[in-house]
């Protein structure tokens, strides 16, 4: 991957996150990246190709976030780490995650599949801890993680750290 190629990707990420995919023109991306507009199409084929490249990065990053949770053997620790998942994300990466959330709405891609390994790990954890309906408990945690993530990235006033602490207390973790 060339230097300019990365610059295009970085600029697209920033602008797509800030303004949205459809509201961002390829000429804007090119200007922001200080390259000719044609170069975008040379490297990524079309605008959707550019988006796909970004989406692929997202897939990889989310997998990386899950690894630490899924590999954990202590069930209590699995749930704790899941709840705290979003606390670990760098502020410099906000654009990146914001885009991922935004695109779930803009492109109608279901996030169920991506969350599947996390759901399995949580279900298993709740099962080990003797909860009556482990799968529903897992769904609930995922709902909260997603909700907290959304709130933070949308710039809500919600104190995410306090919510996580509260949840951890609620589950005796």
Q: Which spans of this chain sit near DNA (rule: CB under 7 A)?
A: 2-5, 24-28, 34-39, 41-43, 46-48
By CB under 8 A, is residue 144 in contact with its own copies?
Answer: yes
CB 118 within 8 A of CB 67: no
To the nearest 10°, the Cα dihedral for 145, 65, 108, 106? 90
Q: Answer with the entry of its own copies, DNA, none that 5 interacts with (C-beta below 5 to 8 A by kind).
A: DNA
Give the per-residue contact string, 40-79, with its own copies (x = CB under 8 A; - = no): ----------------------------------------
Region of 28-36, 80-88, 121-129, 147-155 interacting with its own copies (CB under 8 A): 147-155
With CB under 8 A as the contact rule, the residue among 5, 26, 32, 111 that binds its own copies is: 111
User: Which lies closer to its own copies via its Cβ, residue 70 or residue 163?
Assistant: 163
Among candidate residues 136, 105, 113, the one with its CA nearest the CA of residue 16: 105
By CB under 8 A, is residue 16 in contact with its own copies?
Answer: no
Take residue 105 and report the two structure tokens written for it: 């709405």
Residues recorded for the chain: 173
Neighbours of 110 (CB within 10 A): 8
- Provide the minimum distance between the beta carbon of 19 and DNA in the complex, in angstroms, as a whole number: 10
Among candidate residues 157, 132, 137, the one with its CA nearest the CA of residue 82: 137
């Amino acid at each position: 991957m060339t230097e300019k190629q990365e610059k295009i990707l970085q600029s697209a990420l920033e602008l797509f996150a800030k303004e949205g995919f459809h509201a961002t023109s390829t000429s804007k991306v090119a200007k922001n990246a200080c390259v000719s507009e044609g170069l975008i199409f040379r490297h990524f084929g079309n605008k959707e190709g550019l988006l796909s490249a970004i989406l692929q990065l997202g897939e990889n990053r989310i997998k990386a976030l899950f690894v630490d949770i899924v590999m954990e053997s202590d069930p209590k620790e699995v749930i704790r780490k899941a709840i705290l998942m979003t606390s670990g994300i760098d502020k410099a990466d906000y654009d990146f995650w914001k885009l991922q959330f935004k695109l779930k709405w803009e492109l109608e891609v279901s996030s169920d599949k991506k969350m599947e390994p996390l759901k399995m790990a949580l279900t298993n954890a709740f099962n080990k801890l003797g909860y009556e309906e482990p799968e529903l408990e897992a769904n609930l945690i995922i709902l909260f993680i997603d909700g907290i993530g959304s709130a933070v990235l949308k710039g809500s006033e919600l104190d995410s750290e306090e919510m996580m602490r509260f949840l951890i207390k609620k589950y005796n973790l």
